[in-house]
Amino acid sequence: MTQIHVTTTVNGDEVEFLADPRETLLDCLRDKLGMTGAKEGCGTGDCGACSVTVDGRLVCSCLVLGVEAEGKKIETVEGMAEGEKLHPLQRKFIEHAALQCGICTPGILVAAKALLAQNPDPTEEEARYWLAGNLCRCTGYDKIIRAVLDAAAEMREGV
């Protein structure tokens, strides 16, 4: 099948790739751009391990076609830290031991960042429902929720 040329912005950098129209954004990020931070846990939009934002909107990149990225702004886990400075969510996840195997972590971090962008002071329940699309099989979510709420508190204080 003919490949389509796509120009898009990933974590602030303009990139180009050729995509088969059947390939997902997740496939393109991983296989064409070498950005393997987003993971495929299900391929059906149920697990959230492939979460990225497209023009600020949280999506499962396994449900978006690569060609749909044309002209968009994509943000992935690779873009969360600024140089050597981790995002508060990243720091709090390590501090709270909010990851065990870590495979769901990139998606959960991207989703949690999207939550805090629109709700800087979520309740536990709001955080739980927002993250209900991100499966974690290791932690039972306890430490994840604590890390998200703690990061939110720190970000509100502007530390």
Partner 1 sequence: MPLDSKTTGFKYIGTRPDRPDGIDKVTGKARYGADAYASGMLHGVMVRSPHAHAKIKKIDASKALALKGVKAVVTRADFPTGLEGEDWNIQENCMAGEVALYDGHAVAAVAATSLLLAREAAKLIEVEYEVLPHVTDVDEAMKPGAPAIRAGAADYSVPEGLHPNVMRYIEYGHGDLDAGFAAADLVMENTYKTEAAHQGYIEPHACLAQLGSDGKGEMWVCTQGHWFIRRMSAAVLGIDVANLRVTPSEIGGGFGGKTTVFVEPVALALSRKAGKPVKMVMTRSEVLRATGPTSSSSIDVKMGMKKDGTMTAAKVTMRMQGGAFPMAPIDSALDCAFSCYNIPAVHHEGYDVLANRPKQAAYRAPGSPMAAFATESLVDEMCRALKLDPLKTRLKNASREGTKASFGPTFPRIGLVETLEAALAHPHYAAPLGPNQGRGVASGYWMNWGGETSVSAALGEDGSVTVSVGTPDIGGSRASMALMAAEALGIPYENVRVNVVDTGSLGVNEPTHGSRATYATGLATIEAVKQISTKLCQRAADKWGIPAEAVIWEDGCAKPSGPNAGEFPPLAIGELAAEMGGTGGPISGHFEATPSGHGGSFGTHIVDVEVDPETGYTSVLRYTVVQDAGKAIHPAYVEGQFQGGAAQGIGWALNEEYIYGADGRLQNTVFLDYRIPVASDLPMIDTVIVEVPNPGHPYGVRGVGETGITPPLPAVANAVHAAAGVRLRSLPMSPPRILAAIKAKG
Name the token pair of 38: 């987003």
Helix (H) / strand (E) element for 58: namely strand 57-60
- Distances from the Cα of 66 to the Cαs of 2, 86, 92, 103, in angstroms? 14, 28, 32, 22
The answer to the question of residue 128 lying near partner 1 (CB under 8 A) is yes
Nearest to 122 by CA among 143, 142, 150: 150
The residue from 7, 44, 119, 123 that contacts partner 1 (CB under 8 A) is 44
List 5, 16, 70, 97, residue binding partner 1 (CB under 8 A): 97
Choice between 71 and 113, CB closer to partner 1: 113
Q: Starting from the edge strand earliest in sequence, which strands make up the sheet with 73-75, in order?
A: 13-19, 4-10, 73-75, 51-54, 57-60
- Interface residue with partner 1 among 86, 153, 154, 155 (CB under 8 A) is 86
Say how many Å lie between the first and final Cα of the chain, rounded. Answer: 51
Contact between 132 and partner 1 by CB under 8 A: the answer reads yes
**For residue 42, with 0-12 CB atoms within 10 Å meaning exposed, 13-18 middle and 19 or more buried, which class applies?**
middle
Segment lying near partner 1 (by CB under 8 A), choices 65-73, 114-122, 127-135, 151-159: 127-135
**Residue 155 in contact with partner 1, rule: CB under 8 A:** no
User: Residue 39 or residue 72: which is nearer to partner 1 going by CB?
Assistant: 39
Q: Which of 7, 56, 71, 94 binds partner 1 (CB under 8 A)?
A: 94
Based on the shown chain and the rule CB under 8 A, indicate whether residue 80 belongs to the binding site for partner 1. yes
Which residues of the shown chain bind partner 1 in the complex (CB under 8 A)? 1, 20, 22-23, 27, 30-31, 35-44, 46-47, 49, 76-78, 80-81, 86, 90, 93-97, 99-106, 109, 124-125, 127-129, 131-146
